[in-house]
Amino acid sequence: MEDWTPERVADRLQITEVLYRYCRAIDRIQPADLATLVFHPDAQVDKGDPVPVAEFIATVAQRHPGVPKASHMVMNPIVEFTGPDSAFVESWCLALERQVPKADEPRTIDRVFRVRYGDRFERRGGRWLIAYRAFAMDHELSVVFDPALQSTLGSRLEGQRNSSDPLMKMRAEAGL
């Protein structure tokens, strides 16, 4: 349904904003935002075996504090409307994670994941949110982190995965 009316352009922008909010919620470890700004409460997340979104969010809340560095970037969203209040959205995600030593892997590993999301968006109560998400893993690259090769940050601000992040502090100061 190719529709570029002003209303559909606004719908596309709202849908894209949800995808961006997903990335921020994952990277700043904000499970409440995933539950209220990204997914419908009855959504399913499918990484090979569909689970209720609450289970997915609980996994993120448990796993991600042990990942000291993470960055998710969503790009190339293609929005195809399937009805007045529904759309299929395919987007690409590049996720970078630093994973610290564990019993089964004693080295720090930097991982790059190239993923595609297949999202069924639904507008309910005037809000576009994800009702179903499928992850398609296209590529993974893992390398051992070598601290000797890390550049120094100097006077640059260093991102954090919590409320002490410089940009999250700015948002709080702005009343957001």
| Residue 129 and residue 43 in contact, taking contact as beta carbons nearer than 8 Å | yes
Note down pLDDT in tens along the chain; length 176 residues. 578 999 999 999 999 999 999 999 999 999 999 999 999 999 999 999 999 999 999 999 999 999 999 999 999 999 999 999 999 999 999 999 999 888 887 899 999 999 999 999 999 999 999 999 999 999 999 999 988 887 776 778 889 999 999 999 999 999 99
The length of the chain in residues reads: 176
The CA-atom distances, in angstroms, between 79 and each of 24, 75, 76, 94, 99 are: 20, 12, 10, 19, 33
Q: pLDDT tens, 53-93?
A: 999 999 999 999 999 999 999 999 999 999 999 999 999 99
Domain 6-147+157-171 has CATH 3.10.450.50: yes
The ranges assigned to domains in the chain are: 6-147+157-171
